[in-house]
Structure 1
Amino acid sequence: MASDKSNDRAAASDARVEILLVGMNGDLRGKQIPLGMQKKIWAGEVRLPSSTQSLDIWGDDNDDITGLSLSVGDPDGNCIPDERSVAAMPWAPEGSLQVLATMHEFDGTPSFMDPRAILASVLKRYERLGLTPVVATELEFYVMEQSWRETGRPSPPVDLTYQGDPNGFQLYDMSAVDALGDYLNTVRAYAAAQGLPADATTAEFGPGQFEINLLHRPDALAAADDCIYLKRIIEQAARKHGLKSTCMAKPYSDHAGSGLHVHASVLDAAGRNIFDAKGGEPTKLKSVCAGMLQSMRDAQLVFAPFANSYRRFQPGSFAPVDLTWGYGHRGTAVRIPDINGPAARIEHRVAGADANPYLLLAAILGGMLLGLENELDPGEETTPSHVPDNVPKLTHDFLTAVEAFRHSPFIADIFGERYQQLYGDTKRKEAITYLRTVSDFDYRTYLPRL
């Protein structure tokens, strides 16, 4: 497959193949292999330390709390490429390729730490039931000036400002799309070169904020691959144009946060959408809503994996705080856009753009399965004129979400007890570090007065 892909363009002498592993934070780590030596990739001979996928946001292996690195000799694992994910790297020398891999132990079993393997294990549960999830993602992100390195603060692209201030809200504003046209054209060109199923691009509320929709896939693993590749594309395109892109959930305190919305339906063995209500009561749709809502607080750490993520959950924003569902209601945590025909589906609206797409889809599909298998009922619908009483809420607190994740039977079932402990302990350290850090807000607010 690799040679077929590389023949699409004349390979440069410095062309390469990058074999990529996905870390717990959705980061890509791996190796660059000269194109002429790529056979070792397809033979499964590329190795990296198994602890590569245990690294925290700072790149620390946390061996003192995980016991997965030097204390056990920091053993290697095999990086087994998924040839379906082979894609061009249009920002690299001609003929360069990238491929996503899954870490395996030497006995051939997937590593419990690999996010792709975790999602694959959830998909096997659907397969055993004769079901196939169909998934699409919508990614919001910001583009900003490179001056953030010097100033330590984000600044909107100058073409979207007047005397340094943003030109108001830019929701669906085509002038904002035009102003960043060269950058967005590069994003689209890179996506086309990779065969990425990119659909609409829209300007969102914040200055320099955009959303790109990816088309539905009857393969949730491929849909997660699409999303991780899209994140890389927007970053590489920004570099080309002297800009910075970010999928931080809340890069500006006074502008909208960025989400990662997921649309999902389920096909039966005959390829029929099981959510299609055919003009009747959408029983299965309501059951999956109930399953997602029931598991949502336990999985919030997946949807909001960093301290910054919790700044996005604000009353009156499009980031849901209440565990609600509704038909066509964008203020709910789970929205049902359609109940009839092939388009019958749910939209999960909680996750931030900073979420790891593999863990995100594992949690969502796991919640859907919980609802389907137990025929759960979501309770009252939320409408613009009616919010049910005593609706449970998501937390605004990072550490609270960590503890919910660490002690959840649902998480242990979907992610495995070992990954639950690894992810939970690693994020607990991150949350405690955040709480111990005295911020500029503390100094500005309290030091002059106390």
Structure 2
Amino acid sequence: MDEMGIQEAREFLEQNPDINSIDLMIGDINGVIRGKRIPRDSLLKAYEEGICLPASLFALDINGNTIEETGLGLDQGEADRLCYPVAGTLSRTPWQDRPCGQVLMSMYENNQAPFIYDPRHVLQRVLDRFAELKLTPVVAVETEFYVVDRERDELQQLQPPVSPVTGKRDAQCQVYSLSDLDDHCDFIEAIHEAAQAQRLPVDTAIAECAPGQFEINLKHRSNAMQACDEAVLLKRLIKGVAARHQMDATFMAKPYNQEAGSGTHIHVSLLDEQGNNVFKGETDDPLGSNILKHAIAGTLALMPESMVVFAPNANSYRRFQPGFYVPMSQTWGADNRTVAVRIPGGSDEARRLEHRVAGADANPYLLMASILAGIHYGITQRLTPPAPVVGNGYASHPPSLPSSWIQALEQWQRNELLPEYLGREFCRVYHANRYGERLLFMRHVSPQEFDWYLRSV
């Protein structure tokens, strides 16, 4: 029983007498929010006793099908586990028509031990390794997304929304365009207002390089778990606000054939016990300290093993195409956006690495766990990275990362290092879940196949 959490719930109910229902939310392996809606009178009981949800929640594919090969479904009799609210995540949902609240949950065994298939516990397992080194990761999450019209075009394809300012459909976009932000200023402002109401540290909003594509950044946190919680909550918030503006928000990695995909960039630095950034260089070296170089080397070393986390589904791999500014090889460099791991410019006090491979569809907890696992491995093994890339990394380094779903899944089965961090049993279930979804996906015949093959073969 979390006394601080119970007090948080009591204060929330007192301060929000108009709220009649609360969504109890838990993210599955895909990062999809699932859970229950309860009346306000049941909130304190949820904090005190937990709520029951089936363990098979972590066997679900993107469509909610139970992948039985995980062993979490019928093999366990669809047994329940206990879920408890996550302190600090209880808030109103200001985009909904009726007064409503929400809170994140995490799953535990009936003896209160962490349920090892819950991605929050997978991340905690990695964070515990840093605690042993007396180091604290400081992280920030940047996520790109598209807003799209709710109506498809005449070919039943996605299309950008109509500009509230010009009345015309967006046909082009210029990266960092203030005009594009102006066109959707009501939507962006509504995101900031809702984020403020939910205490989410939203920082900047950027118009990206395709019509209807934006990036919303969260401020850095010295609590990596909290940062991932906030990333999950922000995604739900963006979708909710978009719906209020008669649009859909999508975090698909590649919603359009001829436009850029959407990614998730993770910034990481490390603090010692005195609060010093250990990535800071001893000199004015823009590449930082030796510890930073070890961290970079480890991140690159575990990159192929982590690919099915960075790109978890069929659509994820549409994003990895030449000409769309997506890293496809194990590269790094100083202030270079053509590499997989970038060392941003700026003051030495803020020295950090930026991981640029993952799609917007990646599960934030598993993404963070995989990146931090690489950093930990590089530091503890004192690895040395290859020479940094200068200039166009796309031109100088051919693709070396797994470029298809099946290649990434086959690599996952060969993994040796990452399972030591994420847990071998979790990795088994993750593979079964992703492989099972792939089998289901491959059974479907696409319209493209009719166009290409129906009369030609």
Which residue in the other structure is 2:12 paired with?
Answer: 5
Q: 1:390 to 1:206 in 2, by over 3 A?
A: closer
Which residue in the other structure is 1:296 paired with?
Answer: 303
Q: Which runs of structure 2 are paired with 1:122-201 in the superposition (5 Å)?
A: 122-148=126-152, 152-159=156-163, 166-201=170-205
**Secondary structure of 1:137's partner?**
strand
Q: Percent identity?
A: 38
**TM-score (structure 1 length as normaliser):** 0.94
Q: 1:6 to 1:171 in 2, by over 3 A?
A: farther
**Secondary structure of 1:84's partner?**
coil
Contact 1:204 1:211 in 2 (8 A): yes
**1:20 CA displacement:** 1.3
Which residue in the other structure is 1:403 paired with?
Answer: 410
Match of 1:206 among 189, 199, 210: 210
Match of 1:98 among 87, 102, 116: 102
Contact 2:82 2:108 in 1 (8 A): yes
**1:438 CA displacement:** 2.4
Q: Greater CA deviation, 275-284 or 202-211?
A: 275-284
**TM-score (structure 2 length as normaliser):** 0.93
Which residue in the other structure is 2:4 paired with?
Answer: none
Q: Greater CA deviation, 143-152 or 397-406?
A: 143-152
Contact 2:165 2:183 in 1 (8 A): no
**1:347 CA displacement:** 0.1
Q: 1:165 to 1:16 in 2, by over 3 A?
A: closer
Q: Greater CA deviation, 259-268 or 53-62?
A: 53-62
Contact 2:331 2:393 in 1 (8 A): no
Contact 1:143 1:245 in 2 (8 A): yes
**1:150 CA displacement:** 9.6
Which residue in the other structure is 2:319 paired with?
Answer: 312
1:268 aligns with 2:275: no
| Aligned residue type for 1:334 | V
Which residue in the other structure is 1:429 paired with?
Answer: 436
Structure 2: tracts of 5 or more residues without a match = 1-7
Match of 2:54 among 49, 56, 60: 49
Contact 1:79 1:102 in 2 (8 A): yes
Q: Greater CA deviation, 393-402 or 301-310?
A: 393-402
Contact 1:324 1:391 in 2 (8 A): no
**1:95 CA displacement:** 5.9
| Aligned residue type for 2:452 | T
Q: Greater CA deviation, 218-227 or 152-161?
A: 152-161
Contact 2:308 2:408 in 1 (8 A): yes
Which residue in the other structure is 1:333 paired with?
Answer: 340
C-alpha distance in structure 2 between counterparts of 1:309 and 1:332, whole Å = 18
1:231 aligns with 2:238: no
Residue-by-residue CA offset, 1:294-316 (whole Å, 9 max, x unaligned): 11011000000011000101113
**1:72 CA displacement:** 1.9
**1:171 CA displacement:** 1.2
Q: 1:88 to 1:151 in 2, by over 3 A?
A: farther
RMSD: 2.2
Which residue in the other structure is 1:444 paired with?
Answer: 451
**Secondary structure of 2:349's partner?**
coil
Which residue in the other structure is 1:40 paired with?
Answer: 45
C-alpha distance in structure 2 between counterparts of 1:162 and 1:345, whole Å = 41
Which residue in the other structure is 1:368 paired with?
Answer: 375
Contact 1:382 1:388 in 2 (8 A): no
C-alpha distance in structure 2 between counterparts of 1:53 and 1:78, whole Å = 13
**1:164 CA displacement:** 7.5
1:20 aligns with 2:25: yes
Which residue in the other structure is 1:66 paired with?
Answer: 70
**Secondary structure of 2:222's partner?**
coil
C-alpha distance in structure 1 between counterparts of 2:330 and 2:167, whole Å = 41
The number of residue pairs the alignment matches comes to 447
Contact 1:50 1:76 in 2 (8 A): yes
**1:392 CA displacement:** 6.3
Which residue in the other structure is 1:277 paired with?
Answer: 281
**Secondary structure of 2:249's partner?**
strand
| Aligned residue type for 1:55 | L
Q: 1:389 to 1:181 in 2, by over 3 A?
A: closer
Residue-by-residue CA offset, 1:251-291 (whole Å, 9 max, x unaligned): 00011100000000011111111101031562111111111
C-alpha distance in structure 2 between counterparts of 1:254 and 1:30, whole Å = 36
Q: 1:285 to 1:53 in 2, by over 3 A?
A: same
Contact 2:339 2:393 in 1 (8 A): no
